[in-house]
Homo-oligomer: A and B are copies of this chain.
Amino acid sequence: MNFVSDNVVGASAPVMEALARANGGAMAAYGADEIARRVKERFAELFEREVAVFLVTTGTAANALALSSAVPPWGLCVCHREAHVIDDECGAPEFFMHGAKLVGLPGAGAKLDAGAVGAYLEGLPKSVKQMPPKALSISQATECGTVYRPEEIAALGALCRDHGMALHMDGARFANALVSLGCTPAEMTWKQGVDILSFGATKNGCLMAEAVVVFRPDLAESLAYRAKRAGQVISKGRLISAQLEGYFAADHWLDNARHANRMARLLAEGLMRLPGVRLAWPVEANEVFPVLPRAASEALRAAGAGFMEWTQASLPEGETIAADEALIRLVMSYATQEEEVRRFLQAASTALSRQAAE
């Protein structure tokens, strides 16, 4: 019942096997290996077009590199005020962008609305005293477990085009969003105006495999150099490329994501049946955010469940968390077992009944 995050588990079997297979023999270093070549072709197939792909070691690096290719040191990057890039990366984007500024805007369910972003952009003073906006970054799935619809992305894409900004997607949970929408990778990205993507695979079954996928060729030029100088070009590059080969084979990655999302729905449905529990946001990917009595939350922890209490929250209008309540985050992964979910629901039921009795 460790639901702290989808990164508390190791790699899935097909990924580990691909890695073990690739370990033997001599191979060109620094990402010039044959597997990397194949994996990059696979990315092109998946996205139905030419793409530049840079394999990196962390989602933080992928995001920061992607943004640094689009935002000059004197530019502004707009994002949601609870975005991972502004809140959880210790200023990595600011470091890679050499002092460019992130501006966080509000939005329900950690989603940005094109109307609100547009109003913000219109309101910016036109003066050299203020840094000009150069990129917009959105998370798919979001930090609240919600998912942008393609048309919502398209509206943000159009806005970016109008303002000369690049559109970046932080796809740390790309696969979870993708299977949730049931669309193609292309339909969720460049067809709606996404210029550059952080493609995450670690949370969904790899040990460590992330990629920057570039749809606008002019953004690609600098990335090879930027990745190298950021210490992101590992010498035995097969480590990442082999994992991705295993990840993509036979749609393993989509299976993983479907499983995690299904576990989330299962958990959400179970929780909704319990009295005194409500969900802060709809469950659209692999994360569940219930609000429950604080005592119940503590009982669950005592019963061995692992999860995070969530403090920064773009709650829906009218929603508030009472002092004796807790908003918690439960993250399902490719490895979550149905039995764990049932055990958690049982424990929750017990905790809530006990509390009701008191």
Contact = CB atoms under 8 A, between A and B. Distances in A.
Contact of A10 (B56, B101, B132, B236): B236
Please tell me how many copies of the chain the complex holds: 4
B99 A235 contact: no
Given A16-B20, A129-B88, A7 B235 contact: yes
A24 B234 CA distance: 24
A10 B238 CA distance: 8
A266 interface: no
Interface stretch (A143-151, A219-227, A251-259): A219-227
Given A8-B26, A208-B236, A98 B98 contact: yes
A167 interface: no
Interface in A303-350: 306
Contact of A222 (B2, B22, B58, B74): B74
A94 interface: yes
A192 interface: no
Nearest to A226: B74
Contacts of A62: 231
Contacts of A28: 4, 8
Given A74-B225, A129-B228, A233-B60, A25 B9 contact: yes
A130 interface: yes
A90 B202 contact: no
A202 B237 CA distance: 11
A59 B96 CA distance: 19
A25 to B, nearest CB: 7
A338 to B, nearest CB: 16
A99 B91 contact: yes
A76 to B, nearest CB: 8
Interface in A81-112: 87-92, 94-101
A5 B128 CA distance: 17
Contact of A239 (B65, B94, B208, B222): B208
B203 A60 contact: no
Contacts of A263: none
